[in-house]
Structure 1
Amino acid sequence: MHLRILHISTRLILGGSQENTILSCEGQAKLGHEVHLAYGPIYGPEGSMLDRVRTFNAACQAEGFSDRVIRTHEVPHLVREVHPLADRACLRELRELISALKPDVVHTHSSKAGILGRAAAWKCLKRNRTDRPAVVHTIHGPPFMPVEGTAMKRLRIGVMNGVYTLAERQAAKRCHLIVCVADAMASQFLARRIGRADQYVTVYSGMEIEPFLTPAPDQTRAAVRASLGLTESDFVVGTVARLAEHKGHDDILDALGQHMRTHPEFKLLWVGDGWWAGRLRDRVESLGLSGQVICTGLVDPGRVPGLMRAMDVLCHPSSREGLPRTVPQALLCGVCPVAYDVDGTGEVCREMETGRLVKPGNIAELRDALLWAHSHSAERDELAQRGRAECRQRFDVRNMIAALEEVYARALELA
């Protein structure tokens, strides 16, 4: 069945949901579907996934498959922030794009693109049912922020969570199926009375697993450690995430900062960049830990598997996730994760089965889990190997593409 598919994503920055979306586009294009990708302006220090799309398209053309390229469309007013004037303009731009393309499937990603994209697609569906788009939305992570901070901040977050809840309830009425990257997403949304239970289907976020399973010669643990100036006696606690709010870098410093001063073999390896990079580097310096914290900045995604192998543990104390791709990626590399028990993380990192799972915000518990990992290397490796075996099947990108084919077939029947 040949389909014209339009994916809509808010920002193509380097991130888990964006990688999921690009891999979906590539896999569907290889199956012979006509794939379009719409996105908002890309800016900021988080990097861009657009180069990957261009590389894929160049390879298709070089191999004589120009019909398999991913057709891209920048939507000028598709922005992450709530902005009534821009959002109104974006809704018009998306309606015009959908009307022009007449896709069989509109697949939206992330909350903002999901709310506006579904509204635009449903409007087109109501206008002309013969040019139906089946409307599918993927929840990569919850739009609801943790309620924390000062009384004023808590009030502001509570109001925004309420606004997003109402918007998501309306958006759920304007789509046929809702894909979740973890069962936890469906549970959270249904608890907020968003959508119906029969709309939800879990499709775990696929990835190209081979680079994580089999290292290239220059991407082995020893090679990457040597390139970073690390020795085998160093205990490396790594993090692969944007240097941004809610990713937990401060919690790592709170948990290990004092211990690191008296244990120079402890090293932190932070892979990524973001708006908080300067502040975090200043804090590291103020703690006297500059010589024990390696910040790589943005790296080519192809380097991530090697950097993960250089770690002894992957620490992911994020307070807001769907299902963090870095956790199964670390397990595929044979690295034990230590992570906060938020959203879908516990579906992959199960306490003392496939990693160490910590209560969110519990600094003492986070410290204990990391120190346990340091002193129990054999047990740590056992957890990682058990998780590795599970993740090989669950997160193979080919399984995700096949599952989305079934989702689209069902959505088209409903449309």
Structure 2
Amino acid sequence: MKVIHVITRLILGGAQENTLHTVEDQHSLHGDDVTLVIGPSEGPEGTLVPRAMEGGFPVEIVPSLKRSILPLEDMRAYRHLVRLFKERQPDLVHTHSSKAGILGRLAARKARVPVVHSIHGAAFHYGQSRVAYGSYVAAEKYVSRWTEKFICVADAMRDAYLAEGISTADRYVTVYSGFDVDPFLSTQHDRDAIRQEMGFRPDDVVVGKIGRLFHLKGHEFLIESARQIVRKNPRVKFLFVGDGILRQQFEEQISQYGMSDSFHFTGLVPTTRIPELMSAMDIVAHTSQWEGLARVLPQGLISGKPVVSYDVGGAGEVVIPGETGYLLKRDSIDELTTAILELADDQQLRQRLGEEGRRRFADQFRHQTMTEKIRDVYRDVLS
């Protein structure tokens, strides 16, 4: 198959890793003629561009394809994509993310190429202004007319789009976002050495949160909860993996609360280090206010860790109360505190929930499984 993928930023993030795994697998496992089109990757979130450049497939950077709404730049990006699609004449265009999804689908229509769009997280979501929310809904409705299939990372994404009257149910397919599962199953990580490196003692109960230190990621709720948790159980420590614009604010807040000894920030780390850091945790917390289906949830479960998560996006499809973790109301603090304290006090409960998560999801979230299912969608469209 000859396929062009389009995404704005190739930063360290779930949607970007999903896209890159798909492109890499199509190229190396299936022998497809695949091109990756990206915008400039800027900011403190890290980048996957060097990895993409070593993939052996064409990578085209379009300077005007930026995340922000910039009408003149957006028009330049649209024209660039139209020219590219007409020149390369792919069998299919696969768009990812909100901005690239809208511009890419409009360009594919102009170039008369069928297009598939991946919904990694709804373009319209909690935390947006009414104007932004309504504008994205209107834009998605408009371009849905030229979308052959929507690939959703969770059933919750399909439900959100259908609730806004965007297309029809028969054009949605759920394909869970895959990753390299084996490192999370590995028993080779030196858990004790990793914990010691970060200043944790053998009897500490480490609660880990992985994600950009950014708005809507919900670190502030875990910090507020920690004030109660640490008072009741000083053995509980917190590990924040990732970096972002709110790091200084969070560190100052933690210092004001007198909890600096209870928190460790790793800063930006390569994605290859996530499995070993996960092995050092006892509990995985996910307190984002908006997500598609955060990869950290299945990654934590496949690592054999119980997960405490707010009920946002597709979280409820993997975090099953009483079986794999705790599913809580968004923005709740008291419930978050209770869940973490219960897990911290009960090692057998942590083990039981983690083992069930590993049993259920190890095969389902392999990136090879994801790519094969995505190619099935392509076959359906092209037939």
TM-score, length-scaled by structure 1? 0.90
Partner of 1:38: 37
Alignment counterpart, residue 186 of structure 1, candidates 158, 167, 182: 158
Gapped regions of structure 2 (runs ≥ 5): none
Structure 2 residue identity aligned to 1:100: E
Q: Which runs of 5+ in 1 are unaligned?
A: 58-68, 126-132, 148-155
Identity %: 41
Report the alpha carbon displacement of residue 334 of structure 1 after superposing the two structures with TM: 0.7
Whole-Å separation in 2 of the counterparts to 1:54 and 1:227: 32
**What residue identity is the alignment partner of 1:138?**
S
Aligned residue identity for 1:406: D
Asked if 2 retains the 8 angstrom alpha-carbon contact of 1:134 and 1:408, the reply is no
Whole-Å separation in 1 of the counterparts to 2:231 and 2:73: 49
**1:356 aligns with one of 308, 326, 333:** 326
Q: Distance in 2 between matches of 1:383 and 1:8?
A: 38
AA of the residue aligned to 1:210:
D
**Secondary structure at the counterpart of residue 81 of structure 2:** helix
Q: After alignment, is 274-283 or 173-182 more displaced?
A: 274-283
Decide whether the 8 Å contact of 2:181 with 2:366 is kept in 1.
yes
Distance 2:235 2:135 in 1: 47
| Separation in structure 1 between the aligned mates of residue 229 and residue 177 of structure 2, nearest angstrom | 36
> Paired residue for 1:50?
49
- Which residue does the alignment assign to 1:135? 115
For these two proteins, the number of residue pairs brought into alignment is 382
Letter in 1 for 2:118: T
Deviation at 1:225, TM superposition (A): 1.1
Contact (CA 8 Å) 1:215, 1:306: kept in 2 or not? no
Listed one character per residue, the Cα deviations across residues 49-83 of structure 1 (whole Å, up to 9, x for unaligned) are 1122234x3xxxxxxxxxxx221011111111122
What residue in structure 2 maps to residue 298 of structure 1? 268
- With 311-320 and 75-84 compared, the bigger mean Cα shift is at 75-84
User: Larger helix proportion, structure 1 or 2?
Assistant: 1
Corresponding residue of 1:286:
256
Deviates more, 1:256-265 or 1:296-305: 256-265
Instruction: Give the letter for the 1:19 counterpart.
Output: E
Q: Per-residue deviation at 1:261?
A: 4.8
Is 1:5 paired with 2:12?
no
Match of 1:408 in 2: 378
* Alpha-carbon offset, residue 226 of structure 1: 2.1
Structure 2 equivalent of residue 84 of structure 1:
71
Task: Give 2:190's aligned residue.
Answer: 220
1:250 aligns with 2:220: yes
Q: Which runs of structure 2 are paired with 1:253-332 in the superposition (5 Å)?
A: 253-261=223-231, 263-332=233-302
Within the alignment, does 1:337 sit opposite 2:307 as a pair?
yes
Q: How far off is 1:124 after superposition?
A: 0.6
1:290 offset after TM fit, Å?
Answer: 1.5
Per-residue CA distance 1:318-358 (angstroms, 9 max, x = gap): 11111110010011111111000111011001111111111
Match of 2:58 in 1: 71
Structure 2: distance between partners of 1:389 and 1:140: 25
CA contact (8 A) 2:37 2:62 kept: yes
Q: Quote the Cα distance in structure 1 between the aligned partners of 2:22 and 2:318.
A: 21
Q: Secondary structure at the match of 1:394?
A: coil
Given residue 123 of structure 2, which amino acid in structure 1 is its aligned partner? Answer: P
1:105 deviates by 1.4
Moved over 3 A (4+): 261-264
TM-score (structure 2 length as normaliser): 0.97
Asked if the contact 1:316/1:340 (under 8 Å) is kept, the reply is: yes
Shift of 1:229: 2.1
Question: Do the aligned partners of 1:353 and 1:383 also contact (CA within 8 Å) in 2?
Answer: yes
Q: Which residue of 2 aligns with 1:389?
A: 359
Q: Contact 1:145–1:157 at 8 Å: present in 2 too?
A: no
Is 1:241–1:271's contact at 8 Å kept on the other side of the alignment? Answer: yes
Q: Is the 8 A contact 1:267 1:293 kept in 2?
A: yes
Decide which of 342, 348, 356 is 1:378's aligned counterpart.
348
